[in-house]
Amino acid sequence: MSAPVLPGANAFVVGHPIKHSRSPLIHGHWLRRYGIVGSYKRVDVPPDGLPTFLNSLAERGFRGGNVTIPHKEAAYRLAGELTDRARRLEAVNTVWLDDGRLHGDNTDILGYVAHLDQTLGTGWEAGIDSALVLGAGGAARAVVAGLLDRGVGRILVANRTLARAEEIVGLAPPRVAAVAWADLGKHVAAANLLVNTTSLGMAGQPPLALDLRSMSADAVVSDIVYVPLETPLLADARRRHLRTVDGLGMLLHQAVPGFERWFGVRPEVTAELRALVVADIEGG
């Protein structure tokens, strides 16, 4: 749990477990690319150790860092200052120290929409009047908030546990509505954008069984799972000549505001960075 204090700026990603996090690869690339003296390291902290860890960042030589599973909600409660985005999602994935106070933000919203902008081109939202979001975990909240911010008029949330989908409705009723998982198939045809935020389709998990035949030819299918890079859902959508958006870009873009905050340079999500992470994913 303890990290050696190095010269320059030091940041971390804290989670439990943490060894599979690709954030060190992303931030390590940017540190080299911009010639910054600093470090970004994984820190494994079990839930009961999080308050002590986050309350001793200065002593550990950290300026800030990322917070991941299972700590995002606890970090929200521990941060003394929160951005509006963090308050809206009730979860924090990026923290930093300012005047000795712990600040918390949630950059997943920005990460998701920035990746849509990069993949589909700015103005994509003009063609989306109805979105169907599968899943109602923390990532789904960020996706729904991002779609709301871009003016998507109608967002249906389908989740195996309906009560969790109903909680997301609170972000903006009646633009957001919950639908039963068993009725999912009935809503596919009307959606211009379908987003999978469940863990179905992830390596080691069953695929998402969904018939895409009724989707219109200009529809977009997006999956935020990025291992594998092309999930069975995205492969099916590609075969049907639908536009697809993979999950890796969200991971890359959500990292940008944190890096800027800790290291003072706004980094770019480049093809080179993406290739580095793809190679890591494909190498297992």
| Residues binding ligand NAP (CB under 6 A) | 108, 111, 135-140, 159-161, 164, 197-200, 202, 224-226, 247, 250-251, 254
> Given the complex with ligand NAP, which of 81 and 117 has the nearer CB atom?
117
Return the number of the residue (178 or 191) whose C-beta is nearest ligand NAP: 178
Q: From the CB of 181, what's the least distance to ligand NAP, in Å?
A: 7
Whose Cβ is closer to ligand NAP: residue 9's or residue 200's? 200
User: Which residue is closest to ligand NAP by CB?
Assistant: 137
Nearest distance from C-beta of residue 140 to ligand NAP, angstroms: 6
Q: What's the closest the beta carbon of residue 2 comes to ligand NAP, in angstroms?
A: 27
Find the farthest-apart pair of alpha carbons in the chain and give their distance in angstroms, rounded: 57
Nearer to ligand NAP by Cβ, of 136 and 220: the residue is 136
Smallest gap from Cβ 251 to ligand NAP, in A, equals: 4
The DSSP secondary structure of 201-216, one letter per residue, reads: TSTTSPPP----TTS-
- Identify the three-state secondary structure at position 32: helix
Residue 41 bears catalytic tag: no
Contacts of 235 (CB under 8 A, 6+ apart): none
In this structure, the number of other CB atoms found within 10 A of the CB of residue 154 comes to 17
Helical spans, DSSP H, in the chain: 23-33, 50-54, 72-78, 84-89, 108-120, 138-149, 162-169, 184-187, 232-239, 248-254, 256-263, 271-282
Q: Which residues are catalytic?
A: 72
